[in-house]
Structure 1
Amino acid sequence: MNLGKGRESAVTIDTKRKLIIIGSFLMGFGTLGALDGVIFHQLLQWHSVVMETSRQGQIISDGLFHLAVTITLIAGGIVLWLGGKPTDISKGIRLLAGFFLIGGGIFNVVEGLINHHLLQIHRVKPGDPNALMYDVAFLACGIFLILIGYIIRRNTGVKYEV
């Protein structure tokens, strides 16, 4: 079925835009997850995903966490690859950067609210007298990333959120 050149281009640009939004969001989410795992779990050794278990349980829970963020990064990379070059659409780089930061911020907020506050399976720095300060700072960093991402994205002309 021939949709005509104008219609075909509009669908292609809209699809590219959606793929860039989804892919960059996944890349941001996965990147902040990977940084959380590397910095807080491995380098600083402040916490594991599940603290109230044996050392082996902590290693397994961290391994599953790293597997999940790796899958998220791979999925984001594939979706971005399918979307093509961001420069092929108007303000594509702003769209990519904005949703990357929004995705990273969402990771911090979701992980912080669920794991630190609702489920209480770990804190950013458990056992520290200022543990709540670390948890709040973690959430604040996430909110800051979301706001910066939104500011970058808002001038892209995108009227929808995927």
Structure 2
Amino acid sequence: MTEATNRGPLVSAGTLIGAGLGGFLDGIVLHQITQVHNLLSGKYPPTTLVNVEINMFWDGLFHALCWVMTALGLALLWRAGGRADVPWSSRTFVGSLFLGWGVFNLVEGVVDHHVLKIHNVVQRLGESAWDYGFLAVGGLGMIAIGWALIRSGRNDAEPRGRSPVVG
């Protein structure tokens, strides 16, 4: 039997799932529930029906991308589950989820909030402490937590009969 030492497939799957789920949470909480911004609210403020429709369309494309990332991550996780060389480690997997979510927040925050300026965390405030806090806590903080968990799980090798998520 091959020793399970290749964590790459588990980290890849978890990172992609984490990015997709992080995007879903962003879209559901910030775009839909609290309505503090939409994807293009910096360019098309939701003050007219046409602008609301434009934002809704682009929010839908954003959610479609999140769905694709999550689905691809699940496909990678399924493939990793069939490999004897991939160790199952809850810490590695959960760390990968945090890593993916943090990378999503960092990239989305830098690109959308600061480079393209298509929206801010709280659009009515413009660029504010919320944008920088989002990058620090939601981006760099989550990446650091994910990296630490992945590192701490490097020697984990749970029995093959156990679930890759619970343990």
TM band (smaller chain): 0.7 to 0.9
Runs of 4+ in 1 over 3 A off after TM superposition: 88-91
CA–CA separation in structure 2 for the residues paired with 1:73 and 1:80: 10
Q: Given the two structures, how large is their TM-score scaled by the length of structure 2? A: 0.79
Q: What does residue 38 of structure 1 align with?
A: 28
Q: Which amino acid aligns with 1:97?
A: V
CA–CA separation in structure 2 for the residues paired with 1:156 and 1:48: 37
Displacement of 1:81 in angstroms is 1.1
Secondary structure, aligned partner of 1:23: helix
Alpha-carbon RMSD across the aligned residues, in angstroms, is 2.4
Q: What does residue 136 of structure 1 align with?
A: 132
Displacement of 1:136 in angstroms is 0.9
- Kept in 2: contact 1:90–1:156 (CA 8 A): no
1:74 to 51, 71, 96: 71
Greater shift in the superposed pair: 77-86 or 54-63: 77-86
Q: What does residue 18 of structure 2 align with?
A: 28
2:104 to 103, 107, 116: 107
Displacement of 1:77 in angstroms is 0.9
Indicate the structure with greater helix content.
1
Q: Which amino acid aligns with 1:154?
A: R
- What percent of counterpart residues are identical? 32
Displacement of 1:57 in angstroms is 0.9
Question: Relative to structure 1, is the Cα distance of residues 72 and 38 closer, same or farther in structure 2, using a 3 angstrom cutoff?
Answer: same
Q: Given the two structures, how large is their TM-score scaled by the length of structure 1? A: 0.81
